[in-house]
Amino acid sequence: MKVFVTVFMCILVVSELRADDLLCQNPNERKGYCVNINNCFGLKSVNTKSKRTFSESRFIQESRCGDGNFVCCAGDTDFDSTYLLPQPLTCGGDIAHIKILGGNETAISEFAWMVLLEYRRFYGSEPETPCGGSLLNHRYVVTAAHCLVGSYASPFGTLVSVRLGEHDTRTSEDCLGGICSRGVKSVAIEEIHVHKNYVPDSEYWHDIGLIRLQSAVKYSPTIRPICLPSTVGGRILNDGQFLTVAGWGHTVNGGTGSPTLQKVRVPFVENDTCMKKYESIYMHVNGSKICAGGRSGVNSCGGDSGGPLMSYDKGSWILQGIVSSGRQQCGSNWPALYTNVAEYENWIKEKMRP
């Protein structure tokens, strides 16, 4: 009789496994089984908490599989923050060969998080690259919202992919000072997030957007993420402190842009000073913006949009700002305006998922 009961119970268990416990992958890309949430101890304990964090609630929502209350049970109960936001050494590392060949041209792999946004006017056409961005991890690129929606982006067609590991847009193999790299890679876009308070074609408030790539990119000497301010302690910027802007935008001498990645150092301008400057043209500057530049002939310019304004601290490059807007910012004596990344870190974290 005991044998019969045991066999009967095994049949029931196998039957349940076949019906419910299907293999699945949770939001952290870990393999698990699709079960009723009441049979998943970890997620059940989070689900029954009186107060859940936004991240925990979203993790449960994105863990759902099948119908009803079924979730992918894999042992973890929240997003893996170390995967989402790389830490110093992984992010912001400078492994470039520092000897530049003159001017402001960067070394190959000097800013390995730099990306070009690729737009196409119609199927089969050559991509245009009027905007840049910065790689945050294996799946996400941060850029300016005006590169994603509105009158600036629309003439270039549809944003279809991002290009990583680029240095010289004229060549398939980048060489500089006898050092060559074949690491250029184009990755299709899966989804786009624009800050909900951004108003296209306005004064560029909340000018920030996030791009999720269709597939994870593998890090290499020419493809690496940059650090966000919080990962290095969120240090305060001081008036006159030099920051670095990089991009393929127009040079002071004119033209449609530089074929090679360029860099320039610009001084940070304290917000009160910058505000007084812009108030003369009835434009308001607040904590959501960073001001930098103001020396004639040295500044960010068109084609740098969406690219990074960076500080360097204890061996790591930190994303402080995103090239946004400004009055005659192409080499003028007006400070350029950059989206203050520190003000939007929570928004970035809320939108990211493995």
Classify residue 104 as exposed, middle or buried by CB count within 10 Å of its CB (0-12, 13-18, 19+). middle
DSSP codes of every residue in 228-279: PGGGGT-PPP-TT-EEEEEES--BTTBSS--SB-EEEEEEEE-HHHHHHHHH
d(CA 188, CA 211): 10
CA distances from 253 to 245, 247, 312, 331 (A): 17, 15, 28, 10
Q: Quick one: how far is CA 240 from the chain centroid? A: 27
Mean pLDDT, residues 273-292: 82
The two structure tokens encoding residue 137? 């991890």
114-225+347-351 belongs to which CATH class? mainly beta
Q: Indicate which residue of 63, 207, 288, 304 is catalytic.
A: 207
The SS3 of residue 53 is: coil
Known catalytic membership, residue 305: yes
Identify the CATH number of the domain defined by range 2-79: 3.30.1640.30
pLDDT at 135 (0 to 100): 97
Which segment, 192-201, 273-282, 299-308, is predicted with the most confidence on average? Answer: 192-201
d(CA 140, CA 121): 24
Q: Indicate which residue of 21, 134, 138, 146 is catalytic.
A: 146
- Residues in a beta bridge with 247: 262
Known catalytic membership, residue 20: no
Identify the CATH number of the domain defined by range 229-343: 2.40.10.10
Q: Which of 160, 165, 153, 154 is nearest to 126 (CA)?
A: 160
The SS3 of residue 17 is: helix
Q: Indicate which residue of 258, 305, 316, 332 is catalytic.
A: 305
Please give the share of the chain, as a percent, with pLDDT higher than 90.
41
Q: What kind and span of H or E run contains 169?
A: none
Amino acid, single-letter form, for residue 272: D
In the chain, ranges of CATH 2.40.10.10 domains? 114-225+347-351, 229-343
- The pLDDT tens digits of the residues spanning 158-186 come to 999 999 998 778 877 777 666 666 678 99
In the chain, ranges of CATH 3.30.1640.30 domains? 2-79
* DSSP single-letter state for residue 218: P
Model pTM score: 0.75
On the question of pLDDT at 33 being above 50, the answer is yes
pLDDT at 14 (0 to 100): 37
pLDDT at 126 (0 to 100): 84
Q: Are residues 135 and 113 in contact, defined by beta-carbon separation less than 8 angstroms? A: yes
- The pLDDT tens digits of the residues spanning 211-248 come to 999 999 989 888 999 999 998 887 789 998 999 999 88
d(CA 259, CA 250): 10
- The pLDDT tens digits of the residues spanning 80-92 come to 765 678 888 889 9
Q: What kind and span of H or E run contains 22?
A: strand 22-25
Known catalytic membership, residue 206: no
- Residues in a beta bridge with 288: none
d(CA 332, CA 5): 85
